[in-house]
Amino acid sequence: MEGPYKPLVTSDTKVKVSSTLDKTVGKKNLTDGNPETCWTSQQGLPQIIHLVFPEPVRPMRLILTFQGGFVGTQCAIDVAASASEPVWTTLTHIHPEDVNRRQVFQLPEGNSPGIQCMKFVMERSSDFFGRITLYELQVEGWTP
């Protein structure tokens, strides 16, 4: 299936993060649609963003806008079919550039009819201390 894709991260999507620097740069900023707000992690790797969708989805594209200098330069994208007892499999690895602009990553089509959980495991950072700053996180695709 080709685009146009629909946004899969909605107000009903549960978002968890491995750490937050402080309340002003919390996880709510990842999905608020405001290009002026961001999530910033504490130092240390890996940093993880965990999404739980309200219904099964088929993610096709990932859109990220990092702060240059605080980029997750090596990320595993893991998925699970069920939220109740997730069995994680790695969908792909992405390697975002250390830049301030929006980056789009096509995702491989999985064999499953849909997934309910997605996890971004940032294994490396362009920041010496392992901090990540992310202004935009969008997942686009289909609902089966």
Residue 1 counted as domain residue:
no
CB 48 within 8 A of CB 17: yes
Determine the pLDDT at residue 6.
96
CA angle 98, 100, 105 (to 5 degrees): 70
* 102 located within any domain: yes
pLDDT beyond 90 at 10:
yes
* Domain assignment present for 113: yes
Q: The dihedral of CA 113, 79, 108, 37: what is its sign?
A: positive
CATH number at residue 59: 2.60.120.260
Which residue segment(s) compose the domain that 61 sits in?
6-142
As for how many domains the chain has, the answer is 1
pLDDT, tens digit, 9 for 90 and up, residues 19-45: 999 999 999 999 999 999 999 999 999
104 assigned to some structural domain: yes
